[in-house]
Amino acid sequence: MSAQKGDQAFRRNDTTLGRWPEMTYAGVLSFLRRNYSRDLAGADLVISGIPFDSAVTNRTGTRLGPQAIRAASVQLAELKAFPWGFDPFETLAAIDWGDVWLDPHHPDTVAPAIEAHADAILGAGARMLSLGGDHSVSLPLLRAHARRHGPLALIQVDAHCDTWEDDGTRLDHGTMFARAVAEGIIDVARSSQVGLRTHNDADPDFLILAAPWIHRNGIDAALAAVRERAGDAPVYLSFDIDGLDPAFAPGTGTPVPGGLASWQALEFLRGLDGLNLTGMDLVEVSPPYDHAEITALAAATLAHDWLCLIARQKARDAG
């Protein structure tokens, strides 16, 4: 019997390609069963959790999001990816770094810790897939990505604009994109907000494709608009799970009816293929409000599909 079976999350000690057989209902959990490692040498992509939810304005629980998303990813690690028809780890060397160490009792240290974590990973030449956590974690991630790539084309999928008035110091998961605009790390002329269904009189000049517009005009029209807007700019995708309708993602802190269906979100994300994708965060999964793990499963599938985009991009670049 081959020794290369089960618990590859800790039994593998390198970033080599491929994967081992696992029982979907057993074993040590990592995202898509990737090995836990802090060794960045040779890694194309690093997955890490950011278990923080002290900036929420309604229900808490998103500090438990990374654990839930990892657990929900087990079936996705079993077969070739759908609809891609390939194993992304045949070409993409990916590790699960684990969770960023944070001290929530000293909140002024949280953003710098996330930023330093991202700087180290990006500095090693890897891309990042970050699992939140509340949406405030996007700001330090954006700062680190902008240092490496310059001003970013933000594609934000969300129920909320997250650009409400900001005093420059508050810790709030609804103001971080206003601050990112003020800091110049987002290129607003290249950026889009998708799925919104809350109003803000002072929203910056993003392209806003509200959820009702998408329901009426369709995913293809939304993709055409977002892709034209982004052009060849470095693209950062920030996906708040409350961009989905609560029927598809009840496990979140600020649910708003009328959002995207799971299939719409997946088709939209898959349609970003070919853009200059630099990083992604997936945030606001709150397991205490989830039912039958459907929110975590949606989040894991979205993150998995973004990873497949990066695998395809690497294969194209090598071809």
Annotated binding site for Mn(2+): 135, 158, 160, 162, 240, 242
β-pair type (153-157, 207-209): unpaired
Annotated binding site: 135, 158, 160, 162, 240, 242
Phi, psi of 208 (to 5 degrees): -110, 115
